[in-house]
Structure 1
């Protein structure tokens, strides 16, 4: 199982990820701490330097700081070996730019290959915007391909979109068009596999101040809008009670804890107390013991995807959007796509058969779940 730790910034996501993995290893599990991003602040937490491959730092515990540039070069080399039209391009892997969010896709793809070697992989993914930028890439690519070439295969296949495409297919090599279309399909499949809750889930690290809560009210449901299951909320770093000089800050964090319980009452919430940088695995294990006093470090085996797209005989789209305020939710239909807005985030969802081709729809919210069905009567 892979756990992605994201939040509204700072080093708390790294602390939560490292403490979770260290606690799992102390309980006899095989665990990996992984980090992406240029700074790898997690290095200071574990007290070791970054390495280009997983290496042991304690019994049952490995550490890996992934390098997006190296990963991109390796993937580009593999593509040039497999796709003949790319082989002659005078572009080396070290010349390619990093597309925003692609580092996360590359990291998860590599970690999934290593998942059989571990009981738990904890990935520090930093700010939630990076995760959401990665998840939106396949939708953006599909939109561009639809506009330029139309969609001739896979999800959303549409002969009408081909007839409206800006670039006439008759003037372009068939092999080139086929490879672009296949890349689009494979990218969407990759995301679907990535967000599968049987293999990957999210623990959201909530900063205990008003701005942190405001960010989470949009980001947490937006993560689920893309099919990723948020299974727990970790609130921290929390200041100790009883320090008179910190009275206003402690009062604010008390209110944030109460608000979080109100907005996300269905999600387990854990407390991450403020502490000095551990700098060692024993220090991380001590933090983890306080974070998981019940010893329940591993995710539960049962889980339901928060995005359910169902075809006939009962075509509908159901999305769990916990905590999303009414005014932050927006819906638009464009062709065969349902465009759902969660605050500043937006997702283009291909609707199932029975909701396409101009079918009138109705949307209703049942608790935290948005349900879209054909309009009847």
Structure 2
């Protein structure tokens, strides 16, 4: 089974393109599912899953109240009724992560996921890794060994201890986030970018490509939507088409073009490509240049990155890498952990971080 993630600027037609892709796949005989947060028409042969963040949020909060019932009663808290709950910011993101968690399904050959607009979509794809890191810091696994003592401490203190359900909830969240992250990181997962060829879209594409690479993802294809025909005798249309051509020519990996129909398009109207083969995650190799230059070089591909937008901080055995609006905290490979940072530079779309061996930590040659 393959998963196809589709994003692009708001108003670019990404939902219609996602629907068209799912419809074409179904017509080619693939068992296809479309996941979307927007209202879309039913598609012949496609199982359409519409996200319901309001319902998910309501169910989660009601369940949380039940688990924390004793503590809430002790505090004299008035519980909320399900019909008075409205979704808070973030509920849409959590609903999407649940959909990604549930994407693996032997009933389908292809799952098309209509992501929110870029570059926000990149931040959502980064959430599972980030939230799991927060959980490990706030509720480290080594402290859970004392969980058996908590009921005893609760009886001695005469106060209900919510720690047991807290740890159980954290473990469940970690498991669900890990499942979503496994789908995002899978070699069978592809990412596509849909946009009208404008200068603003070109900048969004650059930022999105950099953010995806920072989190180990790469674009499988760029789809230029609503492309005007060449050769028009109308001066305005000819000029607009020329400007689109100039933008497309500047896109690094080129683009598959979807013609402008002169009206609002329906999924059945669009000629879109089916997903190709996955190229796999972006590799971050460590180059051994100890003999030549006395350093190790960690090569971090960041296509589209701008030097002035990059930040780099070492925190113990972790490296904090920032690129524009995105940031990722990654553990250092084993060899660089025994080194000090000797410098860094952006070369041809790669952030090259140099590490010099620390005499106090580096193995000494006899």
The bucket for the TM-score relative to the shorter chain is 0.7 to 0.9
2:284–2:300 Cα contact (<8 Å) kept: yes
CA 1:136/1:26 → structure 2, altered by over 3 Å: closer, same or farther?
A: closer
Once the two structures are TM-superposed, the CA of residue 7 in structure 1 deviates from its matched residue by 0.7
User: Which consecutive residues of structure 2, in runs of 5 or more, have no partner in the other structure?
Assistant: 73-78, 144-160, 291-295, 359-366
Q: In the alignment, which residue of structure 1 is the partner of 2:243? A: 252
Structure 2 CA distance for aligned equivalents of residues 180 and 26 of structure 1: 42
CA 1:121/1:213 → structure 2, altered by over 3 Å: closer, same or farther?
A: same
From 183, 186, 198, the counterpart of 1:209: 198
Q: CA RMSD in A?
A: 3.8
Q: In the alignment, which residue of structure 2 is the partner of 1:51? A: none
CA 1:80/1:174 → structure 2, altered by over 3 Å: closer, same or farther?
A: closer
Does 2:111 correspond to 1:121? yes
Please list the CA deviations of residues 280-326 of structure 1 after superposition, one character each: whole Å capped at 9, or x if unmatched: xxxx34412xx33xxxx1330x532125488x9x9986543222233
Q: In the alignment, which residue of structure 2 is the partner of 1:15? A: 16
Once the two structures are TM-superposed, the CA of residue 4 in structure 1 deviates from its matched residue by 1.2
Size of the alignment, in residue pairs? 321
Q: In the alignment, which residue of structure 1 is the partner of 2:212? A: 223
Q: How does 1:8-87 map to 2 (within 5 A)?
A: 8-36=9-37, 40-41=38-39, 43=40, 46=41, 48=42, 57-58=43-44, 60-74=45-59, 85=68
Structure 2 CA distance for aligned equivalents of residues 372 and 92 of structure 1: 53
Please list the CA deviations of residues 50-70 of structure 1 after superposition, one character each: whole Å capped at 9, or x if unmatched: xxxxxxx32x32323221222
Does 2:313 correspond to 1:327? no
Moved more, 179-188 or 3-12: 179-188
SS in 1 for 2:119: helix
Once the two structures are TM-superposed, the CA of residue 88 in structure 1 deviates from its matched residue by 6.8
Q: In the alignment, which residue of structure 2 is the partner of 1:193? A: 182
Could you state the TM-score of these two structures normalised by the residue count of structure 1? Answer: 0.70
CA 1:309/1:188 → structure 2, altered by over 3 Å: closer, same or farther?
A: farther
Structure 1 CA distance for aligned equivalents of residues 69 and 338 of structure 2: 36
Structure 1 CA distance for aligned equivalents of residues 255 and 8 of structure 2: 14
User: Which consecutive residues of structure 1, in runs of 5 or more, have no partner in the other structure?
Assistant: 49-56, 158-171
Structure 2 CA distance for aligned equivalents of residues 326 and 137 of structure 1: 25
Structure 2 CA distance for aligned equivalents of residues 10 and 236 of structure 1: 11
